[in-house]
Amino acid sequence: MSKNAPVSVFHRLRKRYGNTMILALLLVVMAILVNLTPLKEQTWLRVLFGISALNFTLRMTVPLVLGALSGILCERSGIINIGIEGMMLAGAFAGFVAKTSTNHWPLAASLIFSVAAAMAVGGLMGAVHALFSIRFRMDQIISGTVIIILALGATSYLYNRDAIAEGKFSSIPIPGLSQIPVIGPILFDNPPITYLALIMVVVVHVGLFYTRWGLRTRAVGEHPRAADTVGINVNLYRYVNTSLGGMLAGLAGAFLVLEAVGQFQEGMTAGRGFISLAAMIFGNWNPFGALAAATLFGYTQALQNELLLAGVTQVPRQFISMLPYVVTIVAVSGLVGRVRPPAAEGKVYETEGSA
Amino acid sequence: MKASRMMKLLFLLTSLTLLLAACPAAVPAADSGSGADDEMTADFKVGLVTDVGRVNDRSFNQSAWEGVVESAEALGLAEDDIKYIETQDAKDYTDNIQQFIDADYNVIVSVGFALGDATTTAAKENPDVFFIGVDQFQGENIPNLAGLIFNEDHSGYLAGVLAGSLSQTGTIAAVLGTDLVPPVVAFNEGYVAGAQSVNADINVISTYHPGEISQAFVDPEWGAATAKQALDQGADVIFGAGGITGNGALQEIATADGAGETVFCIGVDTDQWNTVPAAQPCLVSSAMKLITPGVVELVTMASDGEFPGGNYFGKADLAPFHDFDDMIPQELKDLLAETKAGLIDGSIDTGYGN
């Protein structure tokens, strides 16, 4: 990392995400205005910017952004990961099992242990996916599908309906910041995995673009032959990254069980892994892009609910639920901006002479 | 060679996956095929096809299966004469029903709205077999097919009366599965009408899951987040009606501030005190469909040769209050009893379907 890294980080962020940042700022200003002034009497403004809508948005965003980061880690190193859904579900189940078997422990210890278990099992699923894809040269789409079916079958087979997880993560208000009106209760009064997810966005971004590990990961995903030539162990990077990705998906599962719902239910990921994939693509395989996409997806879900809660039914909510997918299709078809997957994605890498 | 050993491992893993996925469906199906042909008509056999999910789902499938077991005991059937097939995928409905037809079963129970078309087709093709379609409204009268349906608006109405009476804030909510399924809409409209009958000014905020049928009932985190959203907007009694999605809502409210004191939840379909123990801190009651007795009645009628074709209405009621029994004032209990009587004799109209 060079000495002026922080400055150049900011510069590059502004260049790449200038519009997104302006939008975010606008949203914040509107949220403050609407919730603190008589403007909140306006149904439409409350639907769009009310605190409950924004809280809901963040809550929906967390598993999506973790799933998308999981995808980014895998795909940046050249492994397609469509099994995020399965890794998430396996992580959720592992977290639940760990929580129910440590109910007698102090709450914090039991929860932290369960998060670790969820991430470990998610990582294991990632490692299995890497093994299938690299060692056995299996089609990566098929391998990902196997991961999903395996997770769905195994978790519902093993799930004990009588088990109850006692307690879940509660909010930790950040001193000072949580006192800010409107912004405080939305952003700075959340349970720990939510904070962790937002921190992970920055960590993955810095990791991918400002460290040696990140440079090598990207090299492996773009041009493995060149990476190999300069002495990078291509497949090792792929194993490590896919396992790390699995751990992040496991963390998303832990969020669902240990922070959001508090219990496990069969198939509880309900397609979030697939929406994460869309967020990853829409975000152009960049962590901040994925965060923006996940937030957009979460926000449209919040809007549908708010419209119904407020009794506004003139707008068919189906149109609003279509919005993120329409935007994704437009983005992927290249109309909004160029999205480009890593060049060597999905291709098995074999060193010369081994094939 | 090492690689070939690994290939074997891979093969093993893959077959394990397939086995796990196929397991519950394959076992009972294999059983039902054997020994069925040689004995012919002497005994009376009842088969049940679940909707996608397990027979011990603590919801529709389980209630219906308990009805089959109970009626088998009442009729003195052997254990071998009742079987179930757990549906793994919606495209297997027809095949699963056909397996029972091929094995000469006398009564076939199919559970859930989604199996309606497959059941109707099978009933038309096999006039000698009795079909019971749980939660399947019958548009036309087929003599060997009874749709066990419920006045969901009635139990929703009772839940609404309860919610409207308990609410201190004047805002109550419902977190619902999809409006693509008519019974869910009936629950909600009954709920709204019931709440308005005790408090004309009450603000009822309700939301349906935005996804399609296959997702709307299995998304507990959406249910939970939506329940939180409703709490944020001042709702203090929340009706969770939508399978596992609704369960998520109940569990969220159970961990909210003031659960069981100022904030309450109401479950759906079965007595969720038993089916979702994690919801007990807030669960005052559930708007039930009494599926088990309905199935018992219909199976018994089929065995007596008095099978009613068309729609057959089961009972709708509120579940017991359990630990909240002392909290519910006697006047409210009386009001609920009166309301129930009024709904049954028709003097109270929920307004649904008008």
pLDDT value at residue B191: 95
Longest dimension (CA), chain B: 81
Cβ neighbours, 10 Å, residue A181: 10
Dmax over CA atoms of chain A, in Å, equals 73
Contacts with A311 from chain B: Cβ below 8 Å: 205
Q: Give the pLDDT mean for A3-7.
A: 56
User: Are B218 and A304 a contacting pair at CB < 8 A?
Assistant: no
pLDDT tens profile B268-327: 988 999 888 889 999 999 999 999 999 999 999 999 888 998 999 998 889 999 999 999
Residues 6 or more apart from B212 whose CB is under 8 A from it?
A: B178, B180
Nearest to A150 among B17, B210, B226 (CB): B17
Cβ atoms of residues A220 and A344 within 8 Å: yes
The sheet that has B171-176: what strands, in order across it?
A: B203-208, B171-176, B237-241, B264-269, B283-289, B316-318
Residue B39: is its pLDDT beyond 70?
Answer: no
Question: Tokens standing for A104?
Answer: 């007698």
Handedness of CA A302, A303, A308, A309 (dihedral sign): positive
Whether residue B210 contacts residue A321, with contact meaning beta carbons closer than 8 Å, is answered with: yes
pLDDT for position A305: 84
Contact A161/B229, CB-based, under 8 Å? no
**B249, B255, B261, B264: CA torsion to nearest 10:** 0
Mean pLDDT of chain B: 86
Residues whose CB is less than 8 angstroms from the CB of residue A101 and which lie 6 or more positions away in sequence, other chains included: none
Answer yes or no: do B182 and B325 share one domain.
yes
Between B52 and B224, name the one with better pLDDT.
Answer: B224
Residue A323 touches chain B, beta carbons under 8 Å = no
Tens-place pLDDT, residues A251-310: 999 999 999 988 898 888 988 999 999 899 888 899 998 998 899 888 888 888 888 888
Distance CA B341, CA B354 (A): 21
User: What kind and span of H or E run contains A338?
Assistant: none
Nearest residue to A64 via CA among A217, A256, A242, A221:
A256
State pLDDT tens for residues A78-97. 999 999 999 999 999 999 99
In the numeric block, the tokens 């039914």 are attached to A313
**For chain A, give me the number of helices (H) and strands (E)?**
14, 2
Of A68-77, B26-35, B288-297, B334-343, the poorest mean pLDDT is in B26-35
Are B133 and B185 found together in one domain? no
Instruction: Kindly determine whether residue B278 and residue A52, on different chains, have CB atoms separated by under 8 Å.
Output: no
B225: nearest CB among A59, A138, A152: A59
Q: Can you name the residues that pair with B268 across neighbouring β-strands?
A: B287
Indicate whether B196 and B71 sit together in one domain.
no
Q: pLDDT confidence of A179, banded at 50, 70, 90?
A: confident
Please give the share of chain A, as a percent, with pLDDT higher than 70.
90
**Which of A59, A265, A275, A313 to probe the B interface (max B CBs under 10 A)?**
A265
CB nearest A262 (choices: B16, B54, B278) = B278
Tokens describing residue A160? 């004990």
| Judgement on whether residues B221 and B128 belong to the same structural domain of the protein | no
Tokens of A89: 């579900």
Mean of the per-residue pLDDT values of chain A = 86
pLDDT for the residue B20 = 55
Which residue of A305, A319, A320, A322 to mutate against B (max B Cβ within 10 Å)? A305
In a domain? residue B281:
yes
Both B193 and B270 in one domain: the answer is yes
Q: Is the pLDDT of residue A18 over 70?
A: no
Cβ contact, residue pair B17, A270, below 8 Å: no
Q: Is residue B64 part of a domain?
A: yes
Identify the pLDDT of residue B4. 61
pLDDT at B239: 96
> Do B161 and B267 fall within a single domain?
yes
- Residue in B207, B219, B244 nearest the CB of A309: B207
Q: Which of A85, A268, A319, A323 to mutate to test the interface with B (most CBs of B within 10 A)?
A: A268
Residues B50, B158 within the same domain? no
Instruction: Give B-chain residues touching A138 at CB under 8 angstroms.
Output: 10
pLDDT at A100 (0 to 100)? 94
**Chain A residues in contact with B17 (beta carbon < 8 A):** 146, 149-150, 153
Judge contact between A56 and A298, C-beta under 8 A: yes
Distance from CA of B233 to the nearest CA of A (A): 7
Chain B touched by A316 (CB under 8 Å): no
Quote the pLDDT of residue A255: 96
pLDDT in tens, B126-175: 999 999 999 898 888 999 999 999 989 999 999 999 999 999 999 999 99
A79-93, A109-123, B2-16: which has the minimum mean pLDDT? B2-16
- Cα distance between residue B259 and residue A278, in whole Å: 37
Q: Name the band, by pLDDT with cuts 50, 70 and 90, for residue B23.
A: very low
Tokens matching residue A111: 């929860």
pLDDT for res B26: 39
What local confidence, expressed as pLDDT, does residue B212 receive? 78
Domain assignment present for residue B353? The answer is no
Interchain pair B252, A262: CB under 8 A: yes
Nearest CB to B225 within list A50, A60, A154 = A60
**Looking at residue A266, what is its pLDDT?**
84
Take residue A158 and report the two structure tokens written for it: 């093993």
Residue-wise pLDDT for A125-173, tens only, equals 999 999 999 999 889 999 999 999 999 999 988 988 788 888 889 889 9
pLDDT band at A329 (very low <50, low <70, confident <90, very high): confident
What residue type is A104 in one-letter code?
A: H
| CB within 8 Å: B215 and A265 | no
| Residues 36-55 (A) with a CB less than 8 A from some CB of B | 50-53, 55
Cβ-based contacts under 8 A for chains A and B: 124
* Residue A137 touches partner B, C-beta closer than 8 Å: no
**Could you tell me the pLDDT band of residue B27, with boundaries at 50, 70 and 90?**
very low
Amino acid of residue A228: D
A16: pLDDT confidence band, cut at 50, 70 and 90? Answer: low
Rounded-to-10 torsion of CA A219, A225, A229, A231: 50
Which whole number is the average pLDDT over B36-57? 73
Locate B54 and state its tokens: 């397990």
Please give the span between the terminal C-alpha atoms of chain A, in angstroms, as a whole number. Answer: 37
Q: Which pLDDT value is given to residue A25?
A: 78
Select from A52, A146, A272 the Cβ nearest to the Cβ of B233: A52
Residue B204 pairs in a beta bridge with B172
Domain total in chain B? 2
Q: Cα–Cα distance between B310 and B305 in angstroms, integer?
A: 15
A187-229 residue pLDDT tens: 888 999 999 999 999 999 999 999 999 999 999 999 999 999 9
Round to whole Å and give the CA distance between A182 and A163: 38
d(CA B45, nearest CA chain A) in Å: 28
Q: Report which residue type is found at A289.
A: G
Confidence category of residue A176, pLDDT binned at 50, 70, 90: confident
> Which of B13, B14, B215 lies at the smallest CB-CB distance from A271?
B215
Task: Return all residues near B284 (Cβ < 8 A) that are at least 6 apart.
Answer: B162, B166, B237, B264, B265, B266, B321, B324, B327, B328
Distance from CA of B4 to the nearest CA of A (A): 10
Are residue B195 and residue B99 in the same domain, yes or no? Answer: no
Residue B37 has pLDDT above 50, yes or no: no
Residues B162, B265: one domain?
yes
Contacts of B202 in chain A (CB under 8 A): none
pLDDT 10s digits, B64-73: 999 999 999 9
- Stretch 294-333 of chain B: residues touching chain A, C-beta under 8 Å: none
Residue range B104-112: mean pLDDT, rounded: 93
H helix or E strand, kind and range, residue B86: none
- Judge: B218–A268 Cβ closer than 8 Å, yes or no: yes
Instruction: Give A-chain residues touching B6 at CB under 8 angstroms.
Output: 135-136
Give the per-residue pLDDT at A319. Answer: 78
DSSP secondary structure code for residue B51 in this structure: S
DSSP string of A43-108, one letter each residue = HHHHHHH-HHHHHHHHHHHHHHHHHHHHHHHHHHTT----THHHHHHHHHHHHHHHHHHTTTS-HH
B43 Cβ contact list (under 8 Å, min separation 6) = B77, B78, B81
Domain coverage including residue B134: 31-150+293-300+307-313
Domain match, B122 and B172 both = no
**In the structure, what pLDDT confidence band is assigned to residue B5 with cuts at 50, 70 and 90?**
low
pLDDT higher than 80, residue B34: no
Average confidence (pLDDT) over A3-20: 64
> Is B187 among the domain residues?
yes
In three-state form (DSSP H/G/I as H, E/B as E, the rest C), the secondary structure along A266-332 is CCCCCCHHHHHHHHHHHCCCCHHHHHHHHHHHHHHHHHHHHHHHCCCCCCCHHHHHHHHHHHHHHHH
Evaluate if residue A32 carries a pLDDT over 90: no
Whether B58 and chain A come into contact, CB under 8 Å, resolves to yes
My answer on whether B172 and B198 are in the same domain is yes
- For the record, the structure tokens of B289 come out as 């469909």
Residue range B323-342: average pLDDT? 93
- Would you put residue B243 in left (φ > 0), alpha (ψ -120 to 50) or beta? left
Three-state secondary-structure class, residue A189: strand
Residue B333 lies in a domain: yes
Contacts B26 to A, Cβ<8 Å? none
Q: What CATH number does the domain containing B340 carry?
A: 3.40.50.2300
Question: Span A43-332: which CATH code?
Answer: 1.10.3470
Shared domain for B202 and B332, answered yes or no, is yes
Share of chain A above pLDDT 90, in %: 51
Sequence-ordered alpha helix ranges (H) in chain B: 2-33, 36-39, 60-75, 93-102, 116-125, 152-166, 182-198, 213-216, 220-232, 243-254, 272-275, 291-304, 330-345
pLDDT band at A44 (very low <50, low <70, confident <90, very high): confident
B131 min Cα distance to partner chain A (Å): 29
What is the structure's pLDDT at A83? 94
**Does residue B6 belong to the interface with chain A, where contact is any CB pair within 8 Å?**
yes
**Helix-, strand-, coil-residue percentages of chain B, each rounded to 5:** 50, 20, 30
Residue A46 has pLDDT above 80, yes or no: no
